Amino acid sequence: MKINIELDVTPKEARELLGLPDLEPMQAAVLARIEQRLLDATDILSAEGLLRTWLSLVPVGSEAYLKTLNSFFRPASSDKS
């Protein structure tokens, strides 16, 4: 004997029928936290955020760092005098 029953119900109605909990509020809260963490990560990975991170490793006013940076970005002089 084979019996088939088809129910045309929404997912919410199916959960209620089977006695399963409604996880939508928890899912919305978790997704909001994930979204906030992703937005915070994009701020860190922006060009300005990367420079701020890199420059925070160097002591402020370090003469050696400034000289190195200056020589790196200054074109080589071709004085043949």
Note the pLDDT of residue 41.
80
Note the pLDDT of residue 46.
72
Decide if pLDDT at 80 tops 60: no
Decide if pLDDT at 7 tops 70: yes
Q: Which residues, 6 or more positions from 9, have their beta carbon under 8 angstroms from its beta carbon? A: 17
Q: How confident is the model at residue 69 (pLDDT cuts 50, 70, 90)?
A: confident
For 9-61, what is each residue's pLDDT tens digit? Answer: 998 999 999 999 989 999 999 999 999 998 888 777 777 777 777 777 666 55
Q: Which residues, 6 or more positions from 17, have their beta carbon under 8 angstroms from its beta carbon? A: 7, 9
